[in-house]
Amino acid sequence: MKQLGKYLSACFLAITLVTAMGCSSTQKQEGTGEYIDDSVITTKVKAAIFNEPTLTVAEINVETFKGVVQLSGFVNSRADIDKAVQVARGVSGVRSVKNDMRVK
């Protein structure tokens, strides 16, 4: 019986370690919590762009990785690019903004 307890304890520890490692992040892969945070940031940035009357949200793609927002797509003017970057930077949780938008 004592051996069974040790075996179960070892299995529980192994499962816990594997689960923790699966949820941790690396330089190129997000952990579960970061993925959820980035999804929330992406949604907030898209909403902020949608609420900006001078911008067309359908023209601007938003992706977030570890708090860094990347904006891409084709817009009508350099002013639209500048405004979209400004709007994205104003969203809570955004660490920085990468601009990959182009003027049509």
Residue 61: CB atoms within 10 A of its CB come to: 15
pLDDT at position 11 is: 46
Side-chain-facing half-sphere of 53: CA atoms under 13 Å: 0
Q: How far apart are CA 36 and CA 16, in angstroms?
A: 21
pLDDT at position 57 is: 82
Could you give all domains of the chain from N- to C-terminal order, each with its CATH number? Answer: 27-103 (3.30.1340.30)
Q: Give the model confidence (pLDDT) of 40-88 as tens digits.
A: 999 999 999 999 999 988 899 999 999 999 999 999 999 999 999 999 9
Q: In terms of pLDDT, which residue wins out, 51 or 6? A: 51
Residue type, 43: T
Residue 54's contacts (CB-CB under 8 Å, 6 or more residues apart) are 79, 80, 83
Residue 49: CB atoms within 10 A of its CB come to: 22
